[in-house]
Structure 1
Amino acid sequence: MIKTILRGETQRHHAMTVLLELKIDPENLQEIIVQPYKRKRSEDQNKYMWVLNTAIGDHLGYFKQAMHLELMKLLLPPIIHECPSGMHEEYTTKHLRIKEMSAYLEKILFWAGIEQIPIPPKPYEGPL
């Protein structure tokens, strides 16, 4: 599989070269998909989320994984899956983009403030 993000003319040229070099074979069909690029949360955001999960969990007596699940259930809408046994709710942050992750981190900080839970400072510059 070949995957590239078009950031400029160099990547566009590379993609066109790859397409032109593809052999057309009715026995081995190729699929080409072009879609908007979606930036997922940053590494800094992810690290800070775990700092928050740990700090809040320590304060409330939860392990960080359990606190992560509780905060997602409290602050994120569920992803609903239809299963043979009925509907299943999933809570996850793995599909959040940068703005969505910022909003989630802000919700965690707001909730922690209301609950008067001490929070460590953000360990990086820039927005949440």
Structure 2
Amino acid sequence: MASRTFRIQGAAGIKPAFRTAYDLVTGLMRDAGTGYELVLRPLKSKRSIDQNKRYWALLLELSDIAWVEGRQYSKDAWHEHFKREFIGIEELPGGGQIGISTAKLSVEEFGNYMTRIEQWSAEQGWPLMAEEDA
């Protein structure tokens, strides 16, 4: 069985989450007869909606102004490039690779990630969000 995650964001969610986990593990133990581990940890905050909007605006702007070896790339291509460059690479079955998902980043980590993209872009001669700073 793959691991399961139950997110609890308020007092009202405690009982339903534990009831669902209880029902799940009861059935699994009956079928498999093995033990399971229950881990509680603070909920990792994800990036905000405003961060996400700003991130895609950065990539869209870059896709409009950046030329690499005579060609322009889409915001999706830049997204994949920066994941690989600044977060890392995940191996795929069959030997392929993909950039590690930005969804795994906390709010602070995602902010730092965007700062690295802006610094990299400025170093290449493509300052981003210049109107925002004016």
Identity of aligned residues (%): 23
The alignment's C-alpha RMSD in Å is 3.5
Q: Which has the higher contact order (CA 8 A, sep 6+)?
A: 1
SS in 1 for 2:97: strand
Equivalent in the alignment of 1:125: none
Task: Give the corresponding residue for 2:56.
Answer: 50
TM-score (norm 2): 0.63
Query: Which residues of 2 match residues 1-128 of structure 1 at below 5 A?
Result: 3-5=6-8, 7=10, 11-12=13-14, 14=15, 18=19, 33-36=38-41, 37-60=43-66, 61-81=72-92, 83=93, 85-86=94-95, 88-91=96-99, 92-120=101-129, 121=132
Equivalent AA in structure 1 for residue 40 of structure 2:
Q
Structure showing the higher helix proportion among its residues: 2
Q: Could you report, residue by residue, the CA deviation over 1:28-61 in whole angstroms, capped at 9, with x for unpaired residues?
A: xxx8844322222211111111011001111112
| Aligned residue identity for 1:5 | I
Unaligned runs of 5+ in 2: 67-71
Gaps of 5+ in 1: 123-128
Contact 1:4 / 1:15 at 8 angstroms: preserved in 2? no
How far 1:69 moved relative to its partner? 1.6
